[in-house]
């Protein structure tokens, strides 16, 4: 959402700035996506260890994420050295690529500040304390919005910095998030049961498991983002107007995409906790409920995209100085129909993909995403441009095909049930309070739980499938 706010302000600043923000931003995310995907998988580790009632392993896992985030954040600064050469080689208009290089350079300098909040937030989200994450993220977005206004346009003590100010504001807002999480982790309630300050040692076994399961998850995110990066770079060959329209359309797509990502994190947390408890049947029920919720969000937003696009574009046109923005707006209205077409299937990919990855089925996710991103998005778009004509319409058709097919692939994988027999923690750590049951029968789970001799009798209606 910080990048969304950046682009809204940059729309008011200049057409070249908003055109440059998406290619530079998504290339930065390509560099960030591999370590970010690995670190985000900490959520599954924390959830499963929480379900297995191993608070010491929860804290130790988060520390391994902090170490990995620190090392990766320092490495991500290196591409900033070649930022101008990279975007000059892409071939966009000179007025655009100079700003792309500036935005990308400053974002790379803030790579560490982008990764550390991801690691620290997993301590809370993996244990189900999502309100903490909401409070920190929402306040950091507000900090970013205030700094954007001051740094882009030169308000208060800040000089006018344009697109560089947008990137610097994002980095400072991420630093604010790190400080918030650090303060929260020092509270007595977190020092007590989890002993966060005592489990700071480097644990080779936990780091190995993080790479074993989080590595494919990170590779999947990298291949997905890299595919979209190539797609955006191809779009930029047409010109700044088409690139700006694509930028705004994806920005508005974020309004639906971001909350469904949140639902995916919730599903990932619940699946991880249920797998850790040895109750995969409840994990399946949680996933279906998450899909109903996430799919409903996407359907509602799709209706808004089709029926009220002018309303959504008001923030962008409010202070836009470019006299050509009216033409850009008409292109965005057409592109939003594509967004409405694939949004529901995007929810399928997010929700069911989150479920199977949380259980440990990360290798399939990596190969499926790679095959779709490059086989259905990048390569067909490039060949269409090379052998037919440069067409924004056909490019977005391939984008829609990619999302739809990926959604059905993850749904099929989920329905296969293979993920229900997987786990990312040691089998002996599965909570003994809920002994494993037949993974293909919900009712047998309730019977076996009630019949366990060394655990109190639970309320079976709470666990039974509706």
416-449 confidence digits (pLDDT tens): 988 888 877 655 554 444 444 443 333 333 333 3
86, pLDDT greater than 80: yes
Tokens matching residue 307? 């029926």
Interval 52-76 mean pLDDT: 90
- 3-class secondary structure per residue, 51-104: HCCCHHHHHHHHHHHHHHHHHHHHHHCHHHHHHHHHHHHHCCCHHHHHHHHHHH
Interval 318-344 mean pLDDT: 80
**How high is the pLDDT of residue 375?**
92
394, pLDDT greater than 80: yes
**Confidence bin at 322 (pLDDT 50/70/90):** low
Distances (CA, A) of 405 to 342, 375, 380, 393: 10, 11, 14, 19
Interval 323-339 mean pLDDT: 82
Tokens matching residue 272? 């991880």
Interval 278-298 mean pLDDT: 93
142, pLDDT greater than 90: yes
Query: Which has the higher per-residue pLDDT, 3 or 466?
Result: 3
Query: Which has the higher per-residue pLDDT, 318 or 182?
Result: 182
**How high is the pLDDT of residue 323?**
62
End-to-end CA distance of the chain: 36
**How high is the pLDDT of residue 54?**
84
Neighbour tally for 156: CB within 10 Å = 8
Block residue for tokens 């985030």? 69
Tell me what percent of the residues of the chain surpass a pLDDT of 70.
88
DSSP 8-class letter at 238: T
Interval 62-70 mean pLDDT: 93
Tokens matching residue 229? 């990066």
450, pLDDT greater than 50: no
Q: What is the mean pLDDT of the chain?
A: 82
174, pLDDT greater than 70: yes
460, pLDDT greater than 60: no
**How high is the pLDDT of residue 177?**
96
Q: How far is Cα 403 from Cα 373, in angstroms, rounded to an integer? A: 9
Q: How far is Cα 9 from Cα 247, in angstroms, rounded to an integer? A: 13
Tokens matching residue 396? 């977005």
160, pLDDT greater than 80: yes
Buried b (16+ CB within 10 A) or exposed e, 163-192: bbbbbbbbbbbbbbbbebbeebbeeeebee
Q: What is the pLDDT of residues 254-276, one digit of tens each?
A: 888 889 988 998 898 889 888 87
388, pLDDT greater than 50: yes
For the CA atoms of 112, 115, 116, 119, the dihedral, rounded to the nearest 10 degrees, stands at -160
The residue among 457, 418, 448, 415 whose CA lies nearest residue 278 is: 448
Interval 65-86 mean pLDDT: 91
Q: How far is Cα 52 from Cα 336, in angstroms, rounded to an integer? A: 44
- 3-class secondary structure per residue, 294-309: HHHHHHHHHHHHHHCH
Q: What is the pLDDT of residues 33-47, one digit of tens each?
A: 889 988 988 888 888
Q: What is the pLDDT of residues 87-97, one digit of tens each?
A: 888 777 777 88
Tell me what percent of the residues of the chain surpass a pLDDT of 90.
33
**How high is the pLDDT of residue 407?**
95
**How high is the pLDDT of residue 9?**
83
**How high is the pLDDT of residue 465?**
31
306, pLDDT greater than 80: yes
Query: Which has the higher per-residue pLDDT, 251 or 396?
Result: 396
């Amino acid at each position: 959402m910080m990048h969304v706010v950046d682009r809204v302000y940059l729309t008011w600043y200049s057409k070249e700035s908003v055109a440059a923000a998406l290619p530079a931003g998504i290339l930065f995310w390509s560099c960030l996506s591999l370590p970010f995907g690995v670190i985000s998988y900490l959520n599954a580790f924390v959830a499963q260890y929480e379900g297995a009632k191993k608070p010491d392993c929860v804290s130790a896992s988060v520390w391994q994420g902090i170490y990995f985030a620190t090392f990766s954040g320092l490495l991500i600064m290196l591409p900033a050295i070649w930022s101008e050469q990279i975007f000059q080689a892409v071939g966009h208009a000179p007025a655009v690529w100079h700003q792309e290089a500036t935005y990308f350079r400053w974002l790379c300098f803030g790579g560490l500040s982008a990764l550390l909040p991801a690691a620290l937030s997993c301590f809370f989200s993996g244990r189900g304390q999502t309100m903490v994450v909401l409070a920190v993220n929402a306040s950091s977005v507000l900090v970013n919005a205030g700094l954007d206004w001051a740094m882009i346009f030169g308000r208060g003590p800040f000089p006018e910095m344009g697109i560089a100010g947008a990137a610097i504001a994002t980095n400072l807002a991420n630093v604010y998030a790190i400080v918030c999480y650090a303060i929260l982790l020092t509270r007595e309630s977190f020092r007590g049961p989890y002993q966060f300050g005592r489990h700071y040692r480097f644990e080779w076994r936990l780091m190995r498991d993080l790479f074993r399961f989080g590595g494919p998850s990170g590779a999947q995110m990298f291949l997905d983002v890299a595919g979209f990066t190539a797609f955006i770079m191809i779009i930029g060959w047409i010109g700044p107007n088409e690139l700006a329209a694509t930028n705004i359309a994806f920005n508005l797509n974020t309004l639906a995409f971001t909350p469904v990502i949140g639902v995916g994190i919730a599903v990932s947390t619940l699946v991880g906790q249920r797998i850790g408890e040895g109750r995969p049947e409840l994990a399946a029920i949680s996933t279906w409920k998450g899909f109903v919720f996430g799919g409903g969000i996407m359907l509602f937003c799709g209706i808004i995209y089709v029926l009220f696009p002018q309303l959504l574009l008001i923030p962008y046109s409010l202070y836009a100085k470019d006299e050509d923005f009216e033409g850009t707006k008409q292109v965005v209205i057409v592109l939003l129909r594509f967004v409405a077409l694939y949004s529901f299937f995007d929810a399928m990919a997010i929700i069911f993909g989150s479920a199977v990855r949380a259980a440990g089925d990360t290798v399939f996710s990596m190969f499926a995403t790679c095959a779709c991103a490059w086989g259905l998005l990048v390569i067909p778009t490039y060949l269409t441009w090379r052998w037919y004509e440069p067409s924004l319409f056909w490019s977005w058709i391939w984008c829609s095909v990619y999302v739809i097919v990926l959604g059905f692939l993850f749904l099929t994988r989920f329905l296969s049930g293979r993920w229900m027999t997987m786990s990312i923690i040691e089998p002996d750590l599965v909570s003994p309070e809920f002994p494993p049951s037949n993974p293909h029968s919900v009712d047998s789970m309730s019977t076996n739980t009630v019949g366990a001799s060394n655990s109190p009798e639970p309320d079976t209606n709470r666990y039974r499938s509706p």
